[in-house]
A and B are shown apart, each in its own frame.
Chain A
Amino acid sequence: MSTATPKPRAKWAAVGHSVPKLDAYTKVTGAAVYVDDIPAAGMLHGRTVRSTIARGRICSVTLDPAFDWSAVTVVDWRDIPGENVVALIESDQPLLAHDDVRHQDEAIVLLAHEDPEYLLEAMKHVRIEYEPLEPVLTIEDSLARKDVLYGSDNVFKTIHIERGNTAAGLASADVVVEATYRFGHQEHLYIENNGMIAVRTRDGGLHVRGSLQCPHYVHKALCRAFALPGDKVRVAQTVTGGGFGGKEEYPSMIAGHAALLAWKSGRPVRLMYDRLEDIAATTKRHPGVIHIRAGVQRDGTLVALESDIVLDGGAYATLSAVVLSRGAIHAGGPYRWPHARIHARVVATNTPPNGAFRGFGAPQTQFALECHIDRLAAELGMDPVDLRRRNALIIGDITPTGQTLHESVSAHEVLERTLEASRFHARRKEFTKANAKAEAAERAGRSSPGGRRLRRGIGCALVYHGAGFTGSGEVRLASKAAMELTEDGWPRILAGTTEIGQGTITVFAQVAAEALGLAPARVQVAEPDTARVPDSGPTVASRTLMIVGALVGECARDMRAALEGLTGKPVANEAAFRRAAKRWLQERGPLRVEAKYRKPEFIQWNEDTYQGDAYGVFSYAALVTEVEVDLDTAETRVLDVTTAQDIGKAIHPVLAAGQIEGGVLQGLGWALLEEVRWKDGRVWNAQLTNYIIPTSADAPPIHTILVENPTSLGPFGAKGVGEMPMDVPAPAVVAAIAHATGVRMTEIPVTPERLRSALRADGNTRTGR
């Protein structure tokens, strides 16, 4: 719809302009080559045979002797040359299950054959016998230690954040409100399913290509599983059809499987998941339960927050500890809490492991917190917006981890701009009046046109989101980026950061072009291939532009300085760049510059106490949504969304708004539609027919306001944008439903079934219909 964009400053030629996305041409013509589009000549197809129970021992794996296996490559755990592990934070997840099975759809046997049809038949002839064990399938059973799956208490990780004296704070508060919030799994549902192609190279190494976010993660995992030195393993990204975190860690598993089949068969192998398999077996957003007690003074001053967070990690540790960390750090939302105690745990269950998903814990904790802010306002009889205004962070405020905010704090600005653009208060009055009128008419027996009992509501939410790895995470990553001159004398960016649709290559080219006096389209960006590009850290955590983009900018400035040093003349336009580049190549040979992350001085973090600067800077977002609820069908339709988001600097306003709109719709899906249904630990709606994501007809018009409050940390002031849009829609929807119906939901997704029970309990639905 409309995007309010600040005018680009004239002094910037490339940055701030919405140039055509550099990969758009190949994508609109069908020329872009995704992993499944690579010609199949000479390749085998791979398939994965998976567990059909949630927990148990594997007694035997038998290949049906009546079936012809002569041309089928069969791999099990014994074929793994190195360690049977998917290397990540912990080494608890096997590449192929060996003696025990810990979740449904866990990989046990791999098959490869030339004919995919034959392969499907072969899968039916692998017999796996189990000794089943009683699975632990819920957070409650895990906490109650129905059985111990991990450590001594099923807790993968505990994080405790303490500020002030929460008990005393709660005791001194005028009003204390307590509530429990729940949220389910969410499937990433990138439209391109996972896929990998693996080749055993002639020199005894591996070359793997595929759909992924983090080539260096896959590289590390393959080295461990195959006991190969780094230089024998090469991992490259193919054009990737969406990730959203779903292709952060799981591709290491698929790459390992494809590589095992290639290793054993000696043939290239393509392992493509179909949709069923992708939904059933791969990671999801962590579901969980959050219990909040919060105290507030009568005048609306927040006093103390006590938040008890439990996430379900699933069967293996994956990235759960880090998801929990980000969730816990964001659990106070963008507000001043003099006292806060945040206690967070992630527990083991016998469900497929959960993992990275856009927002990484922050959508979950801020959903609960924002719902609770509305509850506090209702309890006080206060306008929920006024409660936010009174407590929203400003420069100099301190977060629950003791971080003092020094710059680029925009909680108030995004809130006010969203309220103004959405006409929040006027619309709220209109809806309140119209709802009362409709109710009066219905009581009087006058039904509305079509007999539908419709109510409208409007809701608001406010969030923040830290960009980059938490605390000392960026120091540990020690990311690098480089730039070289091509043989033809053009600049080429070398980074391990991937384009997954969000616009990485375009914004990188813009940042570099600005320093080099070139048009962005003149800057090349190398394919992320571990044999050619440095490790820039993973493409996650809203860090790509702010952290790696800054390194790219540094490389471009260094290249420019080198060229200017050679010619003694300024490099300010294409002609000057070309002259200098060609001269360099002639006189000095290749030119390559590299930049490495350096921690800004002021960032101090204590991993043990969980105190300090959790993030260099935060981005801020507010969102207002209007909904319509049918009281009889309990369906909720989102009519409109307005959101202002401060991302420091929009290097490319169209792409930035695209990130916001896409994230907002994923958030709306999580709030209303998307529910993973389970039976005995297995996903039973592993199809697009019954796992419902929003269509264009479900999606509301989204009005985006880009707010630019620059940070000193990112290139041209840019802060992270990728994840925050996911944090903010769900609580706004819950607030809007509460306005429409008077029912304050505590669990998402707010499906018609769930809302209808709540409406009935509230006496808001006619019975006997």
Chain B
Amino acid sequence: MSGPVTLKLRVNGRAMTLSAPPMKRLLDVLREEAHLTGAKEGCGEGECGACSVLLDGIPVNSCLVPFGQCEGARITTVEGLASGRRLSALQQAFVEMGGSQCGICTPGMLIAATALLDRKPGRVPSEDEVRTALAGNLCRCTGYQRIVDAVRAAAKPRPSGSKPGRGR
């Protein structure tokens, strides 16, 4: 692996300067250099989605993204979804409706669902739309039913006006 490169990124809204070899996986850079361990490695080949993060608003498998491609990128990990202690509507729905069991897929699942909800704010996606949008994120615990329900519930307009996602 060639020597490290130093890149400027925005991670969860904060400017960061990170150094790592260009072919190092974004997943490892986030976990080891930025100390954000929310994104997980489940398969290392882009099948399970546990490592999903938003890269310029688009969900990607961070195990397949070389760090060298990330100059100037805006990255959102699961750690960036809440505002302080206040959960996003989606996170709150996962908590209340049983969307998370063992929790290992949850960070990636929340990222993929945030991207879905951010695409069409204010609209409740159909069950099929949610299932298609999350098909790249494997969960072995829930049977997906409660995840799908939680995503749709989070998309419903709330009296407080809080936004479902915070993908930026």
The one of A29, A40, A241 that contacts B87, using a Cβ cutoff of 8 Å: A29
CB distance from B97 to the nearest CB of A (A): 7
A664 cross-chain contacts in B, Cβ below 8 A:
143
Within 8 A of B (CB), among A674-702: 687-689, 693, 695-697, 699, 701-702
Is A502's beta carbon under 8 Å from chain B?
yes
Q: Which of B2-10, B76-84, B157-165 lies at the interface with chain A? A: B76-84
The one of B35, B95, B140 that contacts A693, using a Cβ cutoff of 8 Å: B140
Give the CA-CA distance A30 to B107 in the complex, in Å: 6
Give the CA-CA distance A696 to B128 in the complex, in Å: 9
Indicate if the CB atoms of A687 and B140 lie closer than 8 Å.
Answer: no
The one of B1, B47, B141 that contacts A662, using a Cβ cutoff of 8 Å: B141
Is A24's beta carbon under 8 Å from chain B?
yes
Give the CA-CA distance A662 to B146 in the complex, in Å: 10
Is B17's beta carbon under 8 Å from chain A?
no
Indicate if the CB atoms of A689 and B102 lie closer than 8 Å.
Answer: no
Q: Is the interface of A mostly helix, strand, loop or mixed?
A: loop
A34 cross-chain contacts in B, Cβ below 8 A:
37, 40, 104
Indicate if the CB atoms of A658 and B146 lie closer than 8 Å.
Answer: yes
Indicate if the CB atoms of A24 and B102 lie closer than 8 Å.
Answer: no
Indicate if the CB atoms of B44 and A30 lie closer than 8 Å.
Answer: no
- Binary contact track B75-99/A, C-beta < 8 Å → 1, others 0: 0011101100001000100111111
Is B106's beta carbon under 8 Å from chain A?
yes
Within 8 A of A (CB), among B1-43: 1, 31-32, 35-43
Is A444's beta carbon under 8 Å from chain B?
no
Known: A40-B32, A666-B140, A699-B143. A687 touches B82 (CB 8 A): no
Known: A32-B103, A501-B103, A665-B144. A697 touches B95 (CB 8 A): no
Is A428's beta carbon under 8 Å from chain B?
no
Indicate if the CB atoms of B101 and A191 lie closer than 8 Å.
Answer: no
Indicate if the CB atoms of A688 and B135 lie closer than 8 Å.
Answer: no
B147 cross-chain contacts in A, Cβ below 8 A:
696
Within 8 A of B (CB), among A12-35: 18, 20-21, 23-34
Question: What is the chain B residue whose CB lies nearest that of A658?
Answer: B98
Is A240's beta carbon under 8 Å from chain B?
yes
Within 8 A of B (CB), among A461-503: 500-503
Question: What is the chain B residue whose CB lies nearest that of A500?
Answer: B102
CB distance from A675 to the nearest CB of B (A): 16
CB distance from A441 to the nearest CB of B (A): 27
CB distance from A195 to the nearest CB of B (A): 10
Within 8 A of B (CB), among A425-456: none
Known: A654-B98, A696-B137. A192 touches B145 (CB 8 A): no
Indicate if the CB atoms of B40 and A192 lie closer than 8 Å.
Answer: yes
Is A189's beta carbon under 8 Å from chain B?
yes
- Binary contact track A238-255/B, C-beta < 8 Å → 1, others 0: 011111100000000000
Give the CA-CA distance A662 to B91 in the complex, in Å: 20
Known: A36-B40, A40-B32. A662 touches B143 (CB 8 A): yes
The one of B39, B91, B97, B148 that contacts A29, using a Cβ cutoff of 8 Å: B91
Is A274's beta carbon under 8 Å from chain B?
yes
Give the CA-CA distance A32 to B94 in the complex, in Å: 15
Indicate if the CB atoms of B78 and A699 lie closer than 8 Å.
Answer: no
Is A275's beta carbon under 8 Å from chain B?
yes
Question: What is the chain A residue whose CB lies nearest that of B35?
Answer: A39
CB distance from A507 to the nearest CB of B (A): 13
Taking each of B40, B42, B101, B138, which has the highest tally of chain A beta carbons within 10 Å of its own beta carbon?
B101
B144 cross-chain contacts in A, Cβ below 8 A:
661, 665, 696, 699
Is A601's beta carbon under 8 Å from chain B?
no
B54 cross-chain contacts in A, Cβ below 8 A:
none
Is B131's beta carbon under 8 Å from chain A?
yes
Indicate if the CB atoms of A191 and B143 lie closer than 8 Å.
Answer: no
Is B71's beta carbon under 8 Å from chain A?
no
Indicate if the CB atoms of A30 and B37 lie closer than 8 Å.
Answer: yes
A28 cross-chain contacts in B, Cβ below 8 A:
78, 81, 87, 91, 94-95, 99-100, 103, 106, 110
Is A1's beta carbon under 8 Å from chain B?
yes
Give the CA-CA distance A661 to B148 in the complex, in Å: 12
Give the CA-CA distance A275 to B44 in the complex, in Å: 8
B97 cross-chain contacts in A, Cβ below 8 A:
654
The one of A20, A193, A660, A695 that contacts B96, using a Cβ cutoff of 8 Å: A20
The one of A23, A27, A688 that contacts B48, using a Cβ cutoff of 8 Å: A688
Give the CA-CA distance A662 to B101 in the complex, in Å: 10
B50 cross-chain contacts in A, Cβ below 8 A:
191
Is A655's beta carbon under 8 Å from chain B?
yes
The one of A27, A193, A701 that contacts B103, using a Cβ cutoff of 8 Å: A27
The one of B32, B104, B136, B149 that contacts A192, using a Cβ cutoff of 8 Å: B104
A36 cross-chain contacts in B, Cβ below 8 A:
37, 40-41
Indicate if the CB atoms of A687 and B43 lie closer than 8 Å.
Answer: yes
Residues of A within 8 A of B (CB): 1, 18, 20-21, 23-34, 36-37, 39-40, 117, 188-193, 239-244, 274-275, 500-503, 654-655, 657-658, 660-666, 687-689, 693, 695-697, 699, 701-702, 704
Residues of B within 8 A of A (CB): 1, 31-32, 35-45, 47-48, 50, 77-79, 81-82, 87, 91, 94-107, 110, 127, 130-132, 134-149
13 A-B contacts (beta carbon < 8 Å): A28-B95, A28-B100, A34-B40, A40-B32, A242-B101, A654-B146, A658-B146, A661-B142, A661-B145, A665-B144, A689-B47, A696-B147, A702-B143
Besides the known contacts A29-B81, A662-B141, A699-B145, 14 further A-B residue pairs in the complex with CB atoms under 8 A apart: A24-B94, A26-B103, A28-B87, A29-B38, A29-B87, A34-B40, A191-B139, A241-B102, A241-B103, A275-B42, A658-B101, A664-B143, A687-B43, A702-B143
List 5 tightest A-B contacts by C-beta distance, closest first: A30-B38, A501-B102, A241-B104, A27-B103, A661-B143
